Structure 1
Amino acid sequence: MDSIQDILISVVMELVRVILIIEYFQIFFEKVHLYKKVIAGAVSYIITTGCYLGFHNSLINIISTIIGMFIIAAVHEGTLKKKILHTVMCFGVSCAMDMLAGFALMEAPSSSNYVLFSSFLSVVMFYAFVVILRNIYRKRNREEFSGQWAFLLLIVLMSICVAYVLLNDNEISRVTALTVIIVMIAVNLILYYFYTSMLDRYIFMQDNVLLREQIAIYESELRANVEQDRQVQALRHDMKHHIREIYSLADKNTDTDIIRYLDEMSDSMDNIEKVASTGNSVFDGILNYYAQKIKQEMNNVNFSVILKIPTDLEISSFDMNVILGNLLDNAMENVSGEAGQELQIEAVLEYIEGLLRIEVVNTFAGNVNKDGERFISHKGQGHGFGLSNVKKITEKYSGYMMTEHESNRFKVVVLLYL
């Protein structure tokens, strides 16, 4: 018959293990609604804990653990093959942590708290594994915020040291040891959720900035299209008057006046400057938005665009906004030149047989600032993160990014495989 302390140890450690298993699957699958995680976790917890306390059979424990893990995996979106694969991987990692905990305590002195500390060590090692794996796998982590995960590992190490001291203290009661263990586990989990929530909030805020920029691009493109349609309608409405005037000028054989009048008609249609008109809303919207922005904010800069993009080329507008937006923002921040030199920003986009080439060039005067492998904006520290964000999106398409700087030109080339 198990003692109350043994049952409490099993109940607490299995609860923590289920929480960590849920976090493990969140690394590889898209997030699901909270109620799905709670239900799946509760069912998994009841199955594994019930089988352990009710049967005390190794084979049944293994089967119930695998079933419990798969139940958690099943509520996520993904193929059955992927769910089975990660269930097996999670089970393997859990077993490995149990074995490592056993090896680590092999030389520990005999103690009535051995099972408690062995379970605790296995759980915190699995927790440390999840923290490290999350940091490695989640490539959307920004450099400014990553690295904080090391603080979590430091807390884990301190918890293990405290547990080892307690294990070697034969005078400590089992109730006291269990209380300390539960408190340390609670502290680790609270810090983990605090860290992840702050990270998710940071990413959410950054994505909101990009979303607002995308909305501004769409609004700008919509206003330009509406204005152009209004001008076309106005010209169509007055077309009979224009034709009558042209006939009148033709009767007088005044070719110069006819040409001047036609030029005036043409000018009325060209008030809205559009540097991109491929018919592809993603590229046209972003480039026309920046053409207007450069014209309004930097009227001394010449912005030119070369486009060879098919109308039906499909690519995420979010990803393209990150790439083109950051490249053009960096070019606007850093464009400069010697006295009398024309300031230029050039954008070249070309699609050839599955390969999209994006090139942005700006003139500059002076030296290129770098911090290791990262370029720093002329605005100083706190700027210049754009290229690192572009690189992350580039890796998503198995492409690559390269930079070149000559005597007075800075060029960034991005290649994407679509």
Structure 2
Amino acid sequence: MSMENFLIFVPTNLFRTYIHIRFLRLFLENPKEKTKHWIQFGSMVFYFLINSIGYILFHNPRVNILTNIIGLFVMSLTFLGNIRKKVLSVCIIYALSMLCDIIVVTFCVGPVVDHSINELLGVMTAMLITVCELLAEKLIYKKKNPSFISPNWMFLLFIPLCSIGMIHLCIINSLADRNFIVLVGVGLLVINIISFFLYSAMERTYLINLENELLIQTSDIYRHQLDIIMKTQDQIRSLQHDMKYHIRALLAMANSGNTEEMISYLEEMEKETENPDQYVDSGNKELDGNLNYLLKEANHKLKDVSVKIVVPSRAFTSSFDINVLLSNLLENAITASENTQEKMLHLKLITKKGLLYIEIENSYNGVINEEKGRFYTTKNNKANHGFGLKNVKRIVEKHNGTLDITYSEERFRINIMLYLTNIVKEL
């Protein structure tokens, strides 16, 4: 192997190793133990070494196939899952790699391959595998959780695609300057490696920010619910402390036959036990906490807020999904209604015949951004908004429910139906 080939082969093989480990993460479960990270890194080093040594020493297609498959299988052993799934994943990844190699040779070079451009073919194949990995990542993660997909992932596709185009341009122009070919190949590989590194860092930051926002909101919900509980307990203690005085007063009213005054007195006692911040008390703690937090904001900003909640006290098996669904719907409804004169929000959450019905109706300014049945955000910061209704649709589809959206010039209404057997424990 010439020095030029070696200088391009090493970074190409490194990049291919990284793309293959990303592919394995799509098909297999990541190890939960932190100690597995160094084991996975060791398997990547093994893959790189066995593949490099086999290619440099033997330069034989059969040896290359064998070393690639062995290396992929060793990397797959660092993931959770059964052996069958690991073997299938290795076969799919390597078959896709071979298909990319065939596509590069057939469509970008032709049936007659000049050995002087072998190093460029490897780079093009690695770039094409990268494109396949990004598309597969998008499709698989979209089904699992679309809200955790970075919105800028598509820009990363242009880098390997442009790299393939630039290398193809070098080939069809029959460049004879090998130093320039090496420079182009290594330069494009470095650009792709750095881009993936920056993308991975951005993706981790994006996920951390999402998780932090969720933790902050959850913390606020629990703090608000705890405040409600403490305030209610203080009211009950105060009533208990003065109970003997209340009993004396009621007995005096009863002896005098003053029924109307007794009723009025009892109504005043009832008011003392009520907490103005507790809008919902269904017995479902997770649901009550989230709704009390959101309805406090609604009552603070709006004029007409009505709520009807009739749900089972049993905990939801998918409390996270239900709270995400209600949070997105109510936040959108509050924001839309706040910008109107009517400032109206009606929420109905009831169960009937094994079904959970969610109905949210609110006033809005009459501006709807709809295209082919899809609704888009009307907020100014569109980069950070517009995911709410997407998440709602995803959750409804996940639980085999139905979603119906209707609106008039002044009212916007959303009706959702979910099966209780899918979301409630031990129904």
TM-score (norm 2): 0.83
Counterpart in the other structure of 1:368: 368
Question: In the aligned structure 1, how far is the partner of 2:150 from the partner of 2:45?
Answer: 33
Give the residue type in structure 1 aligned to 2:24. F
Q: Partner of 1:216 in structure 2? A: 220
**Correspondence for 1:17:** 16
Mapped to 2, the partners of 1:105 and 1:365 lie a distance apart of 55
Aligned to 2:327: 325
Q: Is the 8 A contact 2:365 2:410 kept in 1?
A: yes
Equivalent in the alignment of 2:425 = none
Deviations 1:398-417 (A, max 9, x none): 44533111464322133445
Matching of residue 285 in structure 1 with residue 286 in structure 2: no
**Cα deviations across residues 117-171 of structure 1 (Å, max 9, x unaligned)?**
221221111112112222333324569963x444333332332233234334352
Q: 1:62 to 1:378 in 2, by over 3 A?
A: closer
In 1: Cα distance, 2:27 partner to 2:111 partner: 36
Q: Distance in 2 between matches of 1:208 and 1:351?
A: 36
In the alignment, structure 1 segments of 5+ residues that lack a partner are: none
User: Match for residue 47 of structure 2?
Assistant: 44
Once the 2 structures are TM-superposed, how far is the Cα of residue 40 of structure 1 from its aligned partner?
A: 2.3
Listed as ranges, the matches of 1:208-357 within 5 Å are 208-298=212-302, 300-317=303-320, 319-335=321-337, 343-350=344-351, 353=354, 356-357=356-357
Q: Deviations over 1:375-398 (max 9, x none)?
A: 356656635542123223334434
Q: Contact conserved, 1:294 with 1:303, CA < 8 A, in 2? A: no
Q: What are the superposed Cα offsets for residues 204-253 of structure 1, whole Å, 9 maximum, x if unpaired?
A: 32343233222211211111112112222332333333223322333333
**What SS does the aligned partner of 2:316 have?**
coil
Q: Deviations over 1:307-335 (max 9, x none)?
A: 23341332132x22321111011111222
Q: CA-atom RMSD, angstroms?
A: 3.2
Deviation digits for residues 344-400 of structure 1 (CA, Å, limit 9, x no counterpart): 4223243754x5443222244635343554435665663554212322333443445
Cα distance between partner residues in 1 of 2:268 and 2:306: 25
1:123 matched residue in structure 2: 126
Percentage identity across paired residues of the two chains? 26
Do the aligned residues in 2 keep the contact of 1:121 with 1:160 (CA within 8 Å)? yes
CA contact (8 A) 1:36 1:75 kept: yes
After TM superposition, the structure 1 stretch with the greater mean CA deviation from structure 2, 19-28 or 157-166, is: 157-166
Distance 1:23 1:105 in 2: 26
Partners of 2:399 and 2:46 lie apart in 1 by 39
User: Cα–Cα, structure 1 residues 183 and 405, in superposed 2: closer, same or farther, change >3 Å?
Assistant: same
Which of 400, 409, 412 is residue 411 of structure 2 equivalent to?
Answer: 409
| Residues 29 and 358 of structure 1, relative CA distance in 2, 3 Å threshold | farther
- Give the C-alpha shift of residue 105 in structure 1: 4.8
Q: Does 1:66 align with 2:80?
A: no
Does the CA contact (< 8 Å) of 2:12 and 2:189 recur in 1?
A: no
Which structure is higher in RCO with an 8 Å CA cutoff and minimum separation 6? Answer: 2
Cα displacement (A) at 1:108: 7.5
Contact 1:102 1:118 in 2 (8 A): yes
| Contact map agreement 1:27 1:134 (CA 8 A) in 2 | yes
In 2, are the aligned partners of 1:337 and 1:408 still within 8 Å (CA)?
no
Q: Which whole-Å CA distance do the structure 2 matches of 1:25 and 1:344 have between them?
A: 47
Tell me how far 1:265 sits from its aligned partner. Answer: 1.5
C-alpha distance in 2 between matches for 1:100 and 1:160:
12
Pick closer, same or farther for the CA change 1:106–1:280 going to 2, 3 Å.
same
Moved more, 253-262 or 178-187: 253-262
Structure 2 stretches lacking a partner, 5+ long: 423-427
Question: Could you tell me which residue of structure 2 aligns to residue 169 of structure 1?
Answer: 174
Change in Cα spacing, 1:295 to 1:68, as seen in structure 2 (3 Å) is: same
Greater mean deviation of Cα atoms: 136-145 or 257-266: 136-145
Task: Name the counterpart of 1:359.
Answer: 359
Instruction: Provide the secondary structure at the position in 2 that maps to 1:138.
Output: helix
Change over 3 Å in CA distance of 1:206–1:372 after alignment to 2: farther
Cα offsets for 1:268-310 (capped at 9, x unmatched): 1013453332221221111222222222222x12221232334
Conserved? CA contact 2:337–2:364, under 8 Å: yes
Separation in 2 of the partners of 1:384 and 1:112?
Answer: 51
Q: 2:198 corresponds to which residue?
A: 194
Counterpart amino acid of 1:209?
A: E
CA distance in 1, matches of 2:6, 2:247: 95
**What CA distance in whole angstroms lies between the structure 2 residues aligned with 1:350 and 1:367?**
32
- Scaled by the length of structure 1, the TM-score of the pair is 0.85
Q: How many residues align?
A: 411
Q: Does 1:114 align with 2:113?
A: no
Contact 2:228 2:275 survives alignment (8 Å): no
Kept in 2, the 8 Å contact 1:349–1:356? The answer is yes
Deviates more, 1:245-254 or 1:216-225: 245-254
**Which residue of 392, 396, 405 maps to 1:390?**
392
Aligned equivalents of 1:415, 1:45: Cα separation in 2: 52
Given that 1:336 and 1:365 are in contact with CA atoms closer than 8 Å, whether structure 2 keeps it comes out as no
Q: Secondary structure at the match of 2:167?
A: helix
Q: Residues 87-115 of structure 1: CA distance to partner in whole angstroms, max 9, x if unpaired?
A: 22111111111211221355377644222
